[in-house]
Amino acid sequence: MKSIKLALGALTVLVASAFTAIQSTNWKLNENTYSVTFKGKNVDGVIKGLKTNIEFDEAKPENSKISASLDVNTINTGNGMKNKHAKSEDALDAKQFPTINFESVSVSGKSGAYTAIGKLTIKGVTKEISLPFAFENKGTESEFKGKFTIIPKDYNITKGGTPETLEIEITTPVTK
């Protein structure tokens, strides 16, 4: 009888723990103050239209999920001709591929320094990237900052004058 009670107790604990909720916080983007900038040889600018879904657990980053998209048609280099070229078919091809997308497959790190490994899709080409980022927890208002480099040619961006590498920097103020 005693072993049946122990077995039932153990089963109860096991079942209860299986339904324990992950404590990730769903962070909402502050749409008025984020920035996404890019910089390469002879070109720099900003891109808008950021949409995010950030479920981030600072204590257990492995439970986190991050996805984001950008609107290619909002690219702004400060030069109308460069903007038109960036949206053209042999560059980002904004007509056929209006968004740039990122979806994390894993998140790791601690003490404010993290890395999201994920799939970056540009112009219909998906590559796995490593996106190092910092998280500054300020309570209900916090901030994610990340910087990474891509090779445009890897994404079939072949427009003449396209730099060999582009550094992308993202700052996303968020609220709970």
**Interval 51-107: pLDDT, tens:** 999 999 999 999 999 999 999 999 999 999 999 999 999 999 999 999 999 999 999
Query: Predicted confidence band at 8 (pLDDT cuts at 50, 70, 90)?
Result: very low
Give backbone dihedrals phi and psi of 87, rounded to 5 degrees, phi first: -90, -5
Residue 60 lies inside a defined structural domain of this protein:
yes
pLDDT of residue 21: 44
pLDDT of residue 23: 63
On average, the pLDDT of the chain sits at 89
Residue 92 lies inside a defined structural domain of this protein:
yes
Residue 155 lies inside a defined structural domain of this protein:
yes
Domain residues for 100? 24-175
d(CA 57, CA 25): 6
- What CATH number is given to the structural domain containing 83? 2.40.128.110
Cβ(97)–Cβ(122) below 8 Å: yes
* Number of structural domains the chain divides into: 1
**Interval 114-137: pLDDT, tens:** 999 999 999 999 999 999 999 999
pLDDT of residue 24: 77
- Residue 61: which of 101, 117, 139, 121 has the closest Cα? 117
Cβ(175)–Cβ(33) below 8 Å: no
Query: Predicted confidence band at 161 (pLDDT cuts at 50, 70, 90)?
Result: confident
Tell whether the model's pLDDT for residue 109 goes beyond 60: yes
Tell whether the model's pLDDT for residue 15 goes beyond 60: no
* Mean pLDDT on 23-38: 91
Residue 6 lies inside a defined structural domain of this protein:
no
